[in-house]
A and B are shown apart, each in its own frame.
Chain A
Amino acid sequence: MKSFFRMSYPYLLWIALFIVAPMIMILLYALTRSGNGLLTFQFTLENFTKFFNDATFMRVLFTSLRIALLTTVFCILIGYPAALFMASLPERKQTTMVLLLTLPMWINMLLKTYAWRGILMNFDLESEARVFIGMVYDFLPYMIIQIHTAIAKMDRDLLTAAYDLGANRWKTFLKVTLPLSVPGIISGITLVFLPAVSSFVIPKLLGGGDYVLIGNLIEIYFLNAGDWNFGSAISLIMALIIIASMWATKKLDRNAQEG
């Protein structure tokens, strides 16, 4: 059976070329000055100091984090009751609900966002409000499905046991359902916060030109300004922030489950 391992050789080559090499390229560009030759790198940290010393860049970073956080919180607030109510439906209806929630996920995100652009043109809203609606819309189904999966997996006997032991519905929810659904919330956060921080389509289509998030900043530096070194540094900073927040969420999850 070990000989079957050889079947993965082509893919090993593929990931080396198209997954590992590009990551190294970003790192290399972020840490060097522009105008590098093939063998003459000039290492520097100035791309990073430039970012953190500029009030405009910091504001963009702050705005991105704020709207991503706001989106995540609202997806939980709207999505949690939905997932909870879904789980109390008969099994057949639950399947239908999951299908109804997943169907729009298969439709091109840009087209859905474009439709929102049409809808929201009817209202007089701030650009941030439009972006916020677009983001909550786009990510809500992911949150609902993650939480629903966690709740549906739960052992129903635990609820019966809680009721038998005299807990009312509210107490049962707080002491049984909620703690057991935390893993669902965590994976929901991963699926919402991460793409929300880096999103640049929704702000561009719904926010108008004046609403810039960190994703838009990267686009600007790569495609308009042509400064790949600084653009790489920004995306590295963004990736690090995302990794850090994922790590923090996981840690929180572990603590919650132990505590």
Chain B
Amino acid sequence: MKERKSPWSFFSGGYLLLVLLFIYLPIAYVLLFSFNDSKSLTNFTGFSLRWYENMVQDRTMLESIQCTVVVAVIATAVSTVVGTVAAIGLSKARRIIRNIVLEINNLPVMNPDIVTAIGLMLLFISTRIQLSLATLILSHITFCIPYVILTIMPKLRQLDDNVAEAAMDLGATPWQALTRVILPQIYPAILSGALIAFSMSFDDFVISFFTAGVGINNISMYVYSMKRYNPSVNALSTLIVVVVTLILVLVNLIPSIRGRNTKEGDTEG
């Protein structure tokens, strides 16, 4: 299909460029105006770091970053472990049980966030559990586990059961079969599950909004509760954009470098 180098390819290339411009417009805007000298949203009056200084001095904003990170780290750790263990268990369950559990597991994914949120809030309040940091973390774990399971499950289904069976026939304990045979094979899926869980928790607003105690704010809640437009948020966004980009570049580079190595290894072998 070489003959496609035509006005058509210029048009399609231009169209894709426009879509990318649209998608990156707010990010570019935030990057630019985080360095703006004035409070203006329209004019870039000059370069300054005042919004970054403001951010560093804004205690509520810093606390919201801290809260977001703490919750995301704990929720990711717990949901990855529970989710992985549950997924391995479920993959060996009878088909009916597995399907029922997976349907329920899907509920927080398919349900609108606000439904999950008010369900958890009603549960906590009607059992007289005071909303707090703990209820926030519990809620995050609850909506993160399904994503971990959904990421790992397809990988588990591809595994050859016979390998683990063979290991046990050869004298491996179930624990050894698990840690030496099953886990190493699904390790990349566990990592991507953890990554998804982290980003879900990091970005969540709705569920946090309904399940966190008074005075506990993550970044999203902090932004939501702001009454007037605050340009320091641009500085915060810029920081997050930089961190996210770095993480994604790393995550995407490592497997492709590793993948290239193994592919070369395959052709030699």
Binding site for B on A (CB under 8 A): 1-12, 14-15, 18-23, 25-26, 29, 78, 81-82, 84-86, 88, 97, 99-104, 106-112, 114-119, 121-122, 137, 140-141, 144, 194-195, 197-198, 200-201, 204-205, 215, 218-219, 222-223, 228, 231-232, 235, 238-239, 242, 246
Contacts and interface: CB of A to CB of B under 8 A. Distances in A.
B126 to A, nearest CB: 6
B45 to A, nearest CB: 15
Nearest to B226: A114
Given A5-B97, A97-B16, 4 more contacts: A18-B123, A104-B27, A108-B219, A121-B41
A22 B122 contact: yes
B128 to A, nearest CB: 10
B123 A25 contact: yes
B244 A201 contact: no
B101 A15 contact: yes
A18 B138 contact: yes
Interface of B: 1, 4, 12-13, 15-16, 19-20, 22-27, 29-30, 33, 41-42, 82-83, 85-93, 97, 101, 104-105, 107-108, 110-116, 118-123, 126, 138-139, 142, 145, 161, 164-165, 174, 178, 199, 202-203, 205-206, 210, 219-220, 223-224, 229, 233-234, 236-237, 240-241, 244-245, 247-248, 252
Grouping DSSP codes into helix (H, G, I), strand (E, B) and loop, the B interface class, with mixed when no group exceeds half, is helix
A200 B206 contact: yes
B112 A101 contact: no
Contact of A21 (B123, B161, B164): B123
A25 to B, nearest CB: 4
B229 to A, nearest CB: 7
Given A85-B15, A200-B206, A107 B241 contact: yes
A71 to B, nearest CB: 14
25 contacts: A1-B92, A8-B85, A8-B87, A11-B86, A11-B101, A18-B123, A19-B107, A21-B123, A29-B122, A84-B12, A85-B13, A85-B16, A88-B12, A108-B223, A112-B26, A115-B237, A118-B30, A119-B25, A119-B41, A121-B41, A122-B42, A197-B112, A222-B121, A232-B122, A246-B110
Contacts of B13: 85
Nearest to A194: B112
B174 A11 contact: no
Contact of A114 (B85, B199, B233): B233
A5 B233 contact: no
Q: Which of A9, A107, A116 counts the most B-chain CB atoms under 10 A from its CB?
A: A107
Interchain residue pairs A-B with the least CB separation, the first 10: A22-B119, A8-B89, A198-B112, A7-B89, A11-B86, A115-B26, A85-B12, A4-B92, A25-B122, A18-B142
Contact of A86 (B16, B115, B241): B16
A106 B26 contact: no
A188 to B, nearest CB: 15
A115 B27 contact: yes
Given A4-B174, A23-B107, A25-B122, A144 B19 contact: yes
B118 to A, nearest CB: 6
Contact of B112 (A22, A100, A195): A195
Contact of A119 (B29, B89, B115, B237): B29
A8 B27 CA distance: 42
A8 B236 contact: no
B142 A8 contact: no
Contacts of B113: 195, 198
A108 B108 contact: no
B244 A10 contact: no
Contact of B104 (A1, A5, A15, A99): A15
B89 A201 contact: no
A23 B16 CA distance: 42
B224 A26 contact: no
Nearest to A17: B123
Given A8-B85, A118-B41, A137-B23, A15 B16 contact: no
Contact of A4 (B22, B27, B88, B107): B88
A7 B85 contact: yes
Nearest to A84: B12
A78 B115 CA distance: 30
Contacts of A197: 112
A19 B219 contact: no
